[in-house]
Amino acid sequence: MKAALTTLPMEQTSSHCCFCSMQCGLTLIPSDKSPGLTIKPSPDFPVATGRLCQKGLNAMDHVIHPERITEPLHRTFGELRSWHEVTWTYAFKDIADRIKRLQAKHGNDAVAVYGGGSLTNEVCYLLGKFTRVALRSKYIDYNGRYCMSSAAAASNQAFGLDRGMTMPLSEIPYAKFIILAGTNIAECQPTMMPYLLDAKKNGAVIVTIDPRNTMTSKVADIHVRLQPGFDSVFINGLLHVMIEEKLVADAFIRERTVGFDQLKEEVRPFTPARVEELTGILEGVVRTIARGFAKAETGIVLTARGLEQQVNGVENTLNYINLALLTGKIGRRGCGYGAVTGQANGQGGREHGQKADQLPGYRLIEDPAAREHVARVWGIDPDDLPGKGVSAYELLQKVDEGEIKALIVLGSNPIVSSPNSRMVERALQKLELLVVVDMFETETAKFAHYLLPGSSFLEAEGTMTNLEGRVFHRGKALELPGNAKLDYQIICELANGLGYGAYFQYAGIEDVFKELALATAGGKADYSGITYDRLKAEKGIFWPCPSSEHPGTPQLFKESFYHADGKARLFGIKPKMPAEPIDTDYPYVLTTGRLSNHYLSGAQTRRTEGLNKKAPVPVAEIHPWLAGRIGLGVDQKIRITSRRDSLVFQVKVTEGIQPRTVFVPFHWGEELSVNKLTNDALDPTSRMPEFKICAVKVERA
């Protein structure tokens, strides 16, 4: 382990931020101050030209952090638990030998892979191929299951296609009415805010729906402070008004959708008065929003994790999509639906084979034609491909149950990011082999047998796909430190150690992309017309792009949807209870979320001084009513207890939160990890855990 990293020589001066799904362009500039380089916004990337948020401006710090791992580390869990350095040759051989022994004894599925949504498209693709070809295992999933899976499932059901946003960000300023549901863009995607502010300057009405007052809600014309779990009740009220007052787009519904009669029947009981009774949202507010969105010439609905990370997350998202479809606001200028992707490559990460049931290009692994196509690209027999596995949390449960004996984790920190994380911690300790590829000894790596030093975003060339569905090239800017390796090389060398190296022969990362493009050809997420040369020249291309002559597809669904009949599906949603309703023992709702200066499990941002000093610990937010109810005094902390665990947090009392809701950010580990409390109930379709609703009791600490 290296004590400190010096400035690394630059190959080029441009790159892209490693954090959120905006993937803003950045420029590296030599500096007299340590570490000898500084980051400035790039002037020419079209998504956020000339802008970076505080995370982007500080993105260099973790790359050259003294805690960074630069040598392969190994340990056994006997009396001595300390790491010792080994050679890559030793590590690859020992890991491969252990995997072979475990699979010989327990079967191929005894070994699993857990990926991440911030990896390049090429690495995501290789992880899926490695699992199915070199391990011959069905068990692979990734942390994006916790991020976008409900929106992905809803989009597939409604449109026949999942691309986070149906339109480019450049359409937002043309919208006259914008609904932001369960999304705090100002803190999670700060450089997206100028698009919303431009829309507001052009006369747009903005509505935010969130249990908290946020930086985003400050720019809203209407803020609906909705208790978590009531999204579909509220949206049914909006749909009821639109239908009863004949504000729907009759021709669009008739010609381009199916399912209207069922929807009409389901929303009939949800009068504004009934919605007010159930949610506390005034009848007049329901009518104002419904009329405003329906009558506006153009409009956009954007959703995010607030309504998706629930056991009813898919249905909640379908209901918000109903708003766009019922009013015909999709497929044209200033209109559309968007699920605001959270992770850097959350979109691309789920397109190319990291999800348990998918092959590259959004092909389903149990579709015979999909298996035939991908197997032909990979040079294997389709019958040798395994079937579908299970979702990320279920994979970890199978570790706990003993079915999975070995796990390879790349680009993720599941101990911090998973719900009911005590179970995850217990499960990882049962593994006979845990291999973590990372830059740091994360909370998950503390239980690893091998910690392999991977590459940072500045050292690894590849492609990313941002929240719009825009594919772009991210060049290599810095050399690797010490004996760290590129992530894709680690995968290929592990495959070689397992005897499958012939299937992983690439002259460079561009060759991986060329194979990826072939594997996606003819699929829904078709990249086959995209090349590195085109991406460098065109500053990004929207998929689907099925040929070298195709310009890409910025605006989806102009003429038809992706179902066989070309029509979108409307869904009548019957609101359901959360998995864990409040009761007399646990009378409050815990919900979790992000802060502007941290990212995911905090493995990078908690090591960035300029960011961490602004939020060194998580602070719970509660309403003055609740503070008074528990007799909270000045400078006291609170104890939050769920059915799974009990933790103590510093507290902020604010009127900007729904009175029975408690908010805690999730970027910390160990005894500051709120995911020790959260519920692991899963949406029946997306298998998304219910992070946003957890019944708790709150006391003075």
Which helix (H) or strand (E) segment holds residue 664: the answer is: strand 661-665
Q: Where are the beta strands (DSSP E) in 512-594?
A: 541-542, 568-569, 588-593
Q: Where are the alpha helices (DSSP H) in 47-135?
A: 54-57, 60-63, 88-106, 121-129
Which helix (H) or strand (E) segment holds residue 320: the answer is: helix 313-326
**Residue pLDDT, tens place only, 340-352:** 998 989 888 889 9
In this structure, the answer to whether residues 156 and 141 fall within a common structural domain is: no
- Bridge partners (DSSP) listed for residue 209: 181, 224
Q: How many domains does the chain contain in total?
A: 4
Which pLDDT score, from 0 to 100, does residue 30 have? 86
Identify the domain boundary among 339, 365, 384: 339
Domain for residue 530, yes or no? Answer: no
In this structure, the answer to whether residues 212 and 302 fall within a common structural domain is: yes
CA distance 494 to 222: 54
Q: Taking the model in full, what pTM does it have?
A: 0.95
Place of tokens 């379709």: 685
Q: Which amino acid is at 28?
A: L
Domain for residue 545, yes or no? Answer: no
- Strands 470-474, 462-465: pairing kind: antiparallel
175-210 burial, b at 16+ Cβ within 10 Å, e below that, comes to bbbbbbbbbbbbbbbbbbbbbbeebbeeebbbbbbb
Domain for residue 543, yes or no? Answer: no
Domain for residue 194, yes or no? Answer: yes
Domain for residue 286, yes or no? Answer: yes
Which pLDDT score, from 0 to 100, does residue 82 have? 87
Question: Residue 596 has which token pair?
Answer: 């502007």
Which pLDDT score, from 0 to 100, does residue 212 have? 95
CATH code for position 656: 2.40.40.20
In this structure, the answer to whether residues 356 and 481 fall within a common structural domain is: yes
Which pLDDT score, from 0 to 100, does residue 290 have? 98
CATH code for position 477: 3.40.50.740
Residues 462/468, Cβ–Cβ less than 8 Å: no
In this structure, the answer to whether residues 410 and 356 fall within a common structural domain is: yes
Domain for residue 8, yes or no? Answer: no
In this structure, the answer to whether residues 673 and 626 fall within a common structural domain is: yes
Domain for residue 653, yes or no? Answer: yes
In this structure, the answer to whether residues 201 and 273 fall within a common structural domain is: yes
In this structure, the answer to whether residues 52 and 156 fall within a common structural domain is: no
In this structure, the answer to whether residues 31 and 82 fall within a common structural domain is: no
Which pLDDT score, from 0 to 100, does residue 2 have? 43
Which residue ranges in the chain fall short of pLDDT 70? 1-12, 34, 78-80
Which pLDDT score, from 0 to 100, does residue 3 have? 37
**Residue pLDDT, tens place only, 381-416:** 999 999 999 999 999 999 999 999 999 999 999 999
Q: Which amino acid is at 73?
A: L
407: Cα separation from own chain's centroid: 21
Domain for residue 573, yes or no? Answer: no
In this structure, the answer to whether residues 419 and 398 fall within a common structural domain is: yes
Which pLDDT score, from 0 to 100, does residue 1 have? 40
How many other C-beta atoms are found inside a 10 Å radius of the C-beta of residue 294? 24
CATH code for position 281: 3.40.228.10
Identify the domain boundary among 40, 63, 86: 63
In this structure, the answer to whether residues 171 and 142 fall within a common structural domain is: no
Residues 595/615, Cβ–Cβ less than 8 Å: yes
- For residue 57, give its domain range: 14-63
Region of residue 499 (left: phi > 0; alpha: psi -120 to 50; beta: else): left
Q: Phi and psi for 300 in degrees, rounded to 5?
A: -135, 140
Q: What is the DSSP string of 376-424?
A: HHHTS-GGGS------HHHHHHHHHHTS--EEEEES--HHHHSSSHHHH
CA distance 421 to 392: 13
Identify the domain boundary among 313, 339, 365: 339
In Å, the largest CA–CA distance within the chain is 73
In this structure, the answer to whether residues 322 and 434 fall within a common structural domain is: no
- Strands 300-303, 257-258: pairing kind: unpaired
CA distance 594 to 306: 11
Which pLDDT score, from 0 to 100, does residue 80 have? 54
In this structure, the answer to whether residues 330 and 302 fall within a common structural domain is: yes
